[in-house]
Amino acid sequence: MTEIPKNHPRYESLMAREQITAGVETGITSRQGLIAQGRGEAFDYLIGEKTIESADYAEAVAVCLLLLAEKPVISVNGNAAALAPAELVVLAQLTGAKLEVNLFHRTEERVKKIIDVLKENGADAVLGENAEKLLPLDHERAKVEREGIYEADVVFVSLEDGDRCKALTDMKKLVIAVDLNPLSRTAQTAHVTIVDNLKRALPNMIDMISEFRNMEEEDLWEIVNAYDNNVVLIDAVETIKENLTAKQNEVLGIEDGPDQNNDRSKREPRKQSRIQRNPEIARKVMMRGGDLMME
Amino acid sequence: MTEIPKNHPRYESLMAREQITAGVETGITSRQGLIAQGRGEAFDYLIGEKTIESADYAEAVAVCLLLLAEKPVISVNGNAAALAPAELVVLAQLTGAKLEVNLFHRTEERVKKIIDVLKENGADAVLGENAEKLLPLDHERAKVEREGIYEADVVFVSLEDGDRCKALTDMKKLVIAVDLNPLSRTAQTAHVTIVDNLKRALPNMIDMISEFRNMEEEDLWEIVNAYDNNVVLIDAVETIKENLTAKQNEVLGIEDGPDQNNDRSKREPRKQSRIQRNPEIARKVMMRGGDLMME
């Protein structure tokens, strides 16, 4: 793994990238997992690379649900195992959930390797090797363990495929999903969608357990019943829009100090004093319809 | 390469993913390139997976600049070579630009492999093997060819690192950048930022060349001088915000047909009629500050 100084401004993001790349090298993460990590990075950047309040709320509700569940299962894929194996094991232990390795690009070798990683991180038992085709999906994607996800009442999934998430909710399971894209099918289909980086969500959830574990079941249900996932999804989308506007203003120097503006003046091109806007002439080049530059 | 049916709704995106994965297998794309592809996918999804009008405009201005340039160079990295090798060669041939392989994670082996790929796609000469440390950057990232990027007046880069893009503009080169994140440092630093998928931008630019190649230099400069990159960046950000709002409305069923709404009713969880919102009770769970759920 490349050494990254802890004070690097993008330390967390770069570390995660190193972990996923290392996961590919050891065979627990697929190449598709690298692309998924990139998609996640983009949405995390847009969400501000921090746990927003609505995600914190969803994480609290998720903890309540896991504590209430009779047969909770935490589903683990290659990316999750590369990013936060110890946290997944601790969350399972503190909530009484089973761990099940559940891969989109399933190979028996990867299942075994991920089970080993979880056991190295303290897990006693990990399901996944005895998966059968129990979900109404094609081929390998249909495979889950009868004693695990198939019989679960609450399933925690991270970075899950939309079809599989929907198959679980169709089976009347309550699904908690960690997904940085608030508009993904998984995010829309799950009952509790945590729009947060798994590496921030898990420690936060683990911290919260002590606040909820001694509460009455009735009170936990009250919290869960009061929850509206749409509010969380809308808040995440609104946060992204606000962050886009803020970054846009920063780029335009609207709210920023003189540094940003000075920088801009350094960008003088060689042959013209400045590439500027002139709607009339720009119009000439808009041959393919479109007049949006002219407003 | 996996066979993907042409009528698949996400054909283009899945094909690009296959091409990048194949690029890793043949050694022309790095693992970091897979993560970069994922980031690109996320922004392409947000931009609507089509060439927006402002990107079309930027592509036209980029063609004008390449035709005007005395020493234009098209910089090629591992992702670009995997995604659109033939289009890069044709763009270079039709604009008289040199091709230079220019890698962020440089290895001589990858440089050679990418040169081979471009030659297989019709390129006569490709620079990159005789790169020297000529940019004010650390180590391998400083390497460009003296006869190529170092002496160029206009450089076309795709999926470029922010530091390197800035090094080029600091050297008073005019930089055209293809970058799907309109707020990236590369997007902000380049003179002409094409916020579009490289696989859509290149064929579009190639199509445009015949419209511009017989124009007077003076008229081409008029188009270039009239251009304001900020307008293009702002339009891309606004498009993303609009698309987020549209997708959000779709999720909430605000503008959508009954299908979407019916689907929603299928998501009844087992133990409660519906996970709903009740601000008073939700407040109890907001232990970590924050009242944004209460509005």
Interface size A-B, in CB pairs within 8 Å, comes to: 240
Using one digit for the tens of pLDDT, what is the confidence trace for B257-289?
Answer: 444 444 433 333 333 334 444 444 444 444 333
Written as one letter, the residue type at B136 is P
pLDDT of residue A67: 96
The mean per-residue pLDDT over the stretch A86-96 comes to: 98
Window 35-64 of B: residues touching A by CB (8 A cutoff) are 35-43, 53-54, 56-57, 60-61, 64
Q: Taking CB atoms and an 8 Å limit, are B269 and A61 in contact across chains?
A: no
Using a CB-CB distance cutoff of 8 angstroms, which residues of chain A are in contact with residue B228? 275-277
The neighbour count for residue A264, using CB atoms within 10 Å, is: 16
The beta-carbon neighbor of B53 closest among A21, A169, A290 is: A290
Written as one letter, the residue type at A168 is L
Q: Residue A290: pLDDT above 60?
A: no
pLDDT band at A279 (very low <50, low <70, confident <90, very high): very low
The mean per-residue pLDDT over the stretch A239-256 comes to: 81
Q: Residue A254: pLDDT above 90?
A: no
Distance from CA of B1 to the nearest CA of A (A): 13
pLDDT of residue A125: 95
For residue A18, the chain B residue with the least C-alpha distance is: B32
Using a CB-CB distance cutoff of 8 angstroms, which residues of chain A are in contact with residue B54? 292-293
The mean per-residue pLDDT over the stretch B90-97 comes to: 98
Q: Residue A231: pLDDT above 80?
A: yes
Tell which of A65, A267, A295 to mutate to test the B interface (max B CBs under 10 Å): A267
Window 138-157 of B: residues touching A by CB (8 A cutoff) are 153
Q: Taking CB atoms and an 8 Å limit, are A282 and B223 in contact across chains?
A: yes
Using one digit for the tens of pLDDT, what is the confidence trace for B138-197?
Answer: 777 889 999 999 999 999 999 888 888 999 999 999 999 999 999 999 999 999 999 999
**How many angstroms separate the CA atoms of A1 and B276, rounded?**
45
Q: Taking CB atoms and an 8 Å limit, are A252 and B275 in contact across chains?
A: no
Q: Which residues contact A133 (CB under 8 A, 6 or more apart)?
A: A139, A142, A143
Using a CB-CB distance cutoff of 8 angstroms, which residues of chain B are in contact with residue A17? 32, 35
pLDDT of residue A2: 53
Domain positions in chain B are: 1-295
pLDDT of residue B277: 41
Q: Taking CB atoms and an 8 Å limit, are A285 and B39 in contact across chains?
A: no
- pTM (2 decimals)? 0.84
The beta-carbon neighbor of A272 closest among B34, B61, B225 is: B225
- The candidate with the shortest Cα–Cα distance to B163, out of B188, B196, B129, is B188
B293 secondary structure, DSSP code = G
The beta-carbon neighbor of A189 closest among B224, B267, B276 is: B267
Residue B186, both tokens: 């590369």
The beta-carbon neighbor of A57 closest among B21, B227, B285 is: B285
- The candidate with the shortest Cα–Cα distance to A217, out of A91, A92, A66, is A66
pLDDT band at A154 (very low <50, low <70, confident <90, very high): very high
pLDDT of residue A30: 87
Q: Taking CB atoms and an 8 Å limit, are B276 and A173 in contact across chains?
A: no
Using one digit for the tens of pLDDT, what is the confidence trace for B198-223?
Answer: 999 999 999 999 999 999 999 999 99
pLDDT band at A259 (very low <50, low <70, confident <90, very high): very low
Looking at per-residue pLDDT, the higher value among B73 and B106 belongs to B73
* Signed CA dihedral, A143, A148, A149, A152: sign only: positive
Q: Residue A262: pLDDT above 80?
A: no
pLDDT band at B102 (very low <50, low <70, confident <90, very high): very high
pLDDT band at A18 (very low <50, low <70, confident <90, very high): confident
pLDDT of residue A3: 62
Using one digit for the tens of pLDDT, what is the confidence trace for B113-138?
Answer: 999 999 999 999 999 999 999 988 87
- Provide the mean pLDDT of chain A: 85
Q: Exposed, middle or buried: residue B6 (CB in 10 Å: 0-12, 13-18, 19+)?
A: exposed
pLDDT of residue B159: 86
For residue A204, the chain B residue with the least C-alpha distance is: B288
pLDDT of residue B259: 42
Q: Taking CB atoms and an 8 Å limit, are A42 and B43 in contact across chains?
A: yes
**How many angstroms separate the CA atoms of A249 and A256, rounded?**
8
H helix or E strand, kind and range, residue A176? strand A174-178
Using a CB-CB distance cutoff of 8 angstroms, which residues of chain A are in contact with residue B72? none
Ranked by mean pLDDT, the top range of A71-80, B27-36, B221-230, B279-288 is A71-80
Q: Residue B25: pLDDT above 80?
A: yes
Tell which of A14, A15, A35 to mutate to test the B interface (max B CBs under 10 Å): A35
Distance from CA of B188 to the nearest CA of A (A): 7
Q: Which residues contact B29 (CB under 8 A, 6 or more apart)?
A: B20, B23, B78, B79, B81, B82
Total H helices, total E strands in chain A: 13, 7
- Out of A178-192, A243-257, B121-135, least confident range: A243-257
Using a CB-CB distance cutoff of 8 angstroms, which residues of chain B are in contact with residue A218? none
The beta-carbon neighbor of A37 closest among B38, B245, B251 is: B38
Pick the CATH number of B1-295 from 3.40.1710.10, 3.40.630.30, 3.40.50.12640, 3.40.640.10: 3.40.50.12640
The beta-carbon neighbor of B277 closest among A191, A226, A251 is: A226
The beta-carbon neighbor of A226 closest among B227, B231, B276 is: B276
Q: Residue A275: pLDDT above 60?
A: no
pLDDT of residue A162: 87
Tell which of B237, B242, B272, B275 to mutate to test the A interface (max A CBs under 10 Å): B275
pLDDT band at A9 (very low <50, low <70, confident <90, very high): low
**How many angstroms separate the CA atoms of B242 and B248, rounded?**
10
Window 237-276 of B: residues touching A by CB (8 A cutoff) are 237, 240-241, 244-245, 247-248, 251-252, 266-272, 275-276
Looking at per-residue pLDDT, the higher value among B3 and A259 belongs to B3
For residue A174, the chain B residue with the least C-alpha distance is: B269
- Out of A171-175, A206-210, B287-291, least confident range: B287-291
Using one digit for the tens of pLDDT, what is the confidence trace for B232-245?
Answer: 999 999 999 999 99
Instruction: Enter the ipTM.
Output: 0.82
For residue A244, the chain B residue with the least C-alpha distance is: B237
The strand ranges marked E within chain B are: 72-76, 98-101, 132-133, 143-144, 154-158, 174-178, 192-194
Using a CB-CB distance cutoff of 8 angstroms, which residues of chain A are in contact with residue B36? 38
Q: Taking CB atoms and an 8 Å limit, are B54 and A293 in contact across chains?
A: yes
Q: Taking CB atoms and an 8 Å limit, are B41 and A40 in contact across chains?
A: no
Q: Taking CB atoms and an 8 Å limit, are B64 and A230 in contact across chains?
A: no
Q: Residue B65: pLDDT above 90?
A: yes
